[in-house]
Each structure stands twice: as structure tokens, then as C-alpha cells.
């Protein structure tokens, strides 16, 4: 009897690679596909080092439907974990068609091939960005969605709706939509971590690059928000907690759940300056910063109500802010240039 595999799309990326580690640690067989636009296979080599297990990893673009089919022909897939997609918020505002074509077109191809091969269990990497500007806090899964203003966030919202419609049309489908808040940190080994191309859009990779000497200061986008210290407040969650949430979701789809949605967050909000201070404490390195005007599209405060995931997935984030900073620093200091050989 051929073994079942979990197919991880975008599995060479930051969240994907950390999730592959946790899947392997839970004794699942994993096959990875990634188009390597925003990732490199070195991350998979590191995953194999960490786990001592081998991971078939194929360069596949979800816009190439025949390439997807070749994977389903070769491997008996029980569940698909779908991370693959473009995710730069600012870029998506400038290039909406690229984001709709890539993220939505790729997902429709994937879903069509899943249907063809009778694979009807999917766990989708969604984002809290689908909530737009919160109407209440903490944000729970019943909060209105679709308020996002950038094309990236809209692709996450549209893909959620597409998956919901597929599950409504065919009750044999099972889907868990996971809405992430702000993933940060790295695996304790320091071998894998966030490896942004070019200038990091997100706060903590930028802070880490300041600490390692790749950037001379952080720009704080606005200190005039209605928050305790005027800077933006977010729900930062350790990447390994996030990855373990995905492993917990497998049992849900395999038990049969229809289409369900969960927030993956800690329920705790920290400001930009809280994060800077926490990182300075973890690294004993100063993080110089300059305050600039607000970034277009940013909101003041968002953090999760994570109770449903705790109740229904038996999952809860446990890693502290100090661990997030210490683990991020171990990755960044061991790999000043990310996966590229140090120049």
C-alpha cells in the first residue's frame, strides 16, 4: 500500500519550511512544491538536517497545471497545505493583476487538480489582513471580512471564498482556513528562518537586519496612532507555534469538518517600540530608529481572539516574546545574508 503524503505548496518558504519541520516531527510524509520565486531549496536541505528525514522537493509553478498533475500522479496525497503565493502588500497595490493571476489562478489550478485526483482535504494559509480595519478587538472569526484594501489581502479573501464555495458544492471536501496574525522568529536550531528578498517589508526581519549590521536604522512608520506609545500594535506569533497550528489542523480535515476558519494568534498585542525593546533585550544590541510618517494602508491596532483554535484544534500559542526575539536573532546572526553564502 503506497504511503500517503501531505503536499506542501510553497514549502521552501518561511512559513512553509517551518511547517514541514513540524509535519516531519509528527511522522507525516511530506512532498514540497515551490516555484522558488521567493524561496530557495537550501531551506529544504536545512529542514532535512534538522529532522534527519528526506523531503522530496520539486520546482513547480502552480500556473503550470500539468506540472501539478505530475506531482499528484507520482505521490498519493491525503492533504494539501497551501502556502504558495506572492505576499508583498506594497507590490500588490502596484501590480494587482500579477497578484490576482498568480495567487488566485494558481489556487484554482491546484483545486482543479485536487478534484481530478479526488484529493479533497485542504489547509489554506490565509491572513488576518482579510479583516481590514478591526470594528472590534480582539478580532474573532465572526468579524466581518473583505475590508482589506490591498490586492494581496483581497487575494486571501477571494481564495477563502473560492474554497468555501467548493466545499458548499461538494460536501466531501474538507477545508481549514487559517488566518495568521504576525509570524516572527525562527526554529531554535537557527538553521531556517525568514529570508526576505531585498528590503524587508515586515518589521522584525528589518529589525534583525539592523542588529546584524545590514541596515543602519529602523524607520518607524508613525508614532501618532491611538495606541499606548503611538506606534502600531500587532499580534506577533512565534513561527513554530504557527507551524504547529497547521499540524493540529490535519486531524480536523481528516475527521471531516466541511469548511472551517481559525485565527492563529496569541491574543496579545505589542507595539513597534515594544518589539524594538524586546529585541534589544534579547540581543543586547541597540536598534537605532527614526520616526517617519505612517505607511499607507497601515492600521493602528489588531490582535486575535484565538479561543476557537484552542477549543477546536486543541492548539494554543505558547512561545513568549523573548523566545521569538532570541530565536530570530540566532537565525539572523548565524545567517547574516540569509540562505546566501556570506559574501
Residue nearest to ligand WQD (CB): 232
For residues 330 and 260, what is the distance between their CA atoms, to the nearest angstrom?
Answer: 35
All 3 cell numbers of residue 238?
A: 512565534
Q: Which residues contact 20 (CB under 8 A, 6 or more apart)?
A: 8, 11, 30, 32, 44, 47, 55
Please report how close the Cβ of residue 202 comes to ligand WQD at its closest, in angstroms.
3
Place of cell 460536501: 171
Comparing CB distances to ligand WQD, the nearer of 57 and 264 is 264
Q: Does residue 77 contact residue 119 with C-beta atoms inside 8 Å? A: yes
Please report how close the Cβ of residue 49 comes to ligand WQD at its closest, in angstroms.
27
Comparing CB distances to ligand WQD, the nearer of 46 and 156 is 156
Comparing CB distances to ligand WQD, the nearer of 71 and 123 is 123
For residues 247 and 249, what is the distance between their CA atoms, to the nearest angstrom?
Answer: 5
* 34 DSSP β-pair partners: 59
Q: Does residue 107 contact residue 101 with C-beta atoms inside 8 Å? A: no
Q: Does residue 155 contact residue 16 with C-beta atoms inside 8 Å? A: no
Q: Does residue 34 contact residue 16 with C-beta atoms inside 8 Å? A: yes
Catalytic residue among 28, 75, 152, 180: 152
Q: Which residues bind ligand WQD (CB under 6 A)?
A: 87, 89, 127, 129, 180, 182, 201-203, 206, 218-221, 232, 234, 272, 295, 298
Comparing CB distances to ligand WQD, the nearer of 189 and 201 is 201
> 152 an active-site residue?
yes
Please report how close the Cβ of residue 56 comes to ligand WQD at its closest, in angstroms.
26
Please report how close the Cβ of residue 173 comes to ligand WQD at its closest, in angstroms.
24
For residues 317 and 174, what is the distance between their CA atoms, to the nearest angstrom?
Answer: 24
Please report how close the Cβ of residue 148 comes to ligand WQD at its closest, in angstroms.
8
For residues 113 and 115, what is the distance between their CA atoms, to the nearest angstrom?
Answer: 5
Q: Does residue 98 contact residue 86 with C-beta atoms inside 8 Å? A: yes
Comparing CB distances to ligand WQD, the nearer of 234 and 246 is 234
What amino acid positions are annotated as catalytic residues? 152
Amino acid at each position: 500500500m503506497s504511503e500517503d503524503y501531505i503536499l506542501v505548496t510553497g514549502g521552501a518558504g518561511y512559513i512553509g519550511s517551518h511547517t514541514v519541520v513540524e509535519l516531519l516531527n509528527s511522522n507525516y510524509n511530506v512532498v514540497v512544491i515551490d516555484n522558488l520565486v521567493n524561496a530557495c531549496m537550501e531551506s529544504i536541505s536545512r529542514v532535512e538536517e534538522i529532522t534527519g528525514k528526506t523531503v522530496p522537493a520539486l520546482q513547480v509553478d502552480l500556473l503550470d497545471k500539468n506540472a501539478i498533475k505530475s506531482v499528484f500522479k507520482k505521490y498519493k496525497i491525503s492533504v494539501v497545505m497551501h502556502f504558495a503565493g506572492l505576499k508583498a502588500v506594497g507590490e500588490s497595490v502596484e501590480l494587482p493583476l500579477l497578484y490576482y493571476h498568480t495567487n488566485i489562478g494558481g489556487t484554482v489550478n491546484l483545486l482543479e487538480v485536487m478534484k481530478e485526483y479526488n484529493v479533497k482535504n485542504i489547509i489554506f494559509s490565509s491572513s488576518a489582513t482579510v479583516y481590514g480595519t478591526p470594528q472590534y478587538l480582539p478580532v474573532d472569526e465572526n468579524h466581518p471580512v473583505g475590508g482589506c484594501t490591498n490586492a494581496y489581502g483581497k487575494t486571501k479573501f477571494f481564495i477563502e471564498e473560492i474554497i468555501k464555495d467548493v466545499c458548499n458544492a461538494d460536501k466531501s471536501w474538507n477545508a481549514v482556513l487559517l488566518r495568521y496574525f504576525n509570524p516572527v522568529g525562527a526554529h531554535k536550531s537557527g538553521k531556517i528562518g525568514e529570508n526576505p528578498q531585498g528590503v524587508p517589508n515586515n518589521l522584525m526581519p528589518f529589525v534583525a537586519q539592523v542588529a546584524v549590521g545590514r541596515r543602519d536604522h529602523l524607520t518607524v512608520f508613525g508614532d501618532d496612532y491611538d495606541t499606548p506609545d503611538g506606534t502600531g500594535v500587532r499580534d506577533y506569533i512565534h513561527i513554530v507555534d504557527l507551524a504547529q497550528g497547521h499540524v493540529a489542523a490535519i486531524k480536523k480535515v481528516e475527521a471531516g469538518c466541511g469548511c472551517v476558519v481559525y485565527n492563529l494568534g496569541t491574543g496579545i498585542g505589542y507595539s513597534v517600540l515594544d518589539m524594538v525593546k524586546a529585541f534589544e533585550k534579547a540581543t543586547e544590541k541597540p536598534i537605532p530608529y527614526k520616526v517617519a510618517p505612517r505607511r499607507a494602508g497601515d492600521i493602528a491596532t489588531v490582535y486575535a481572539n484565538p479561543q476557537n483554535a484552542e477549543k477546536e484544534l486543541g492548539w494554543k500559542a505558547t512561545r513568549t516574546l523573548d523566545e521569538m526575539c532570541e530565536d530570530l536573532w540566532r537565525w539572523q546572526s548565524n545567517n547574516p545574508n540569509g540562505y546566501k553564502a556570506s559574501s
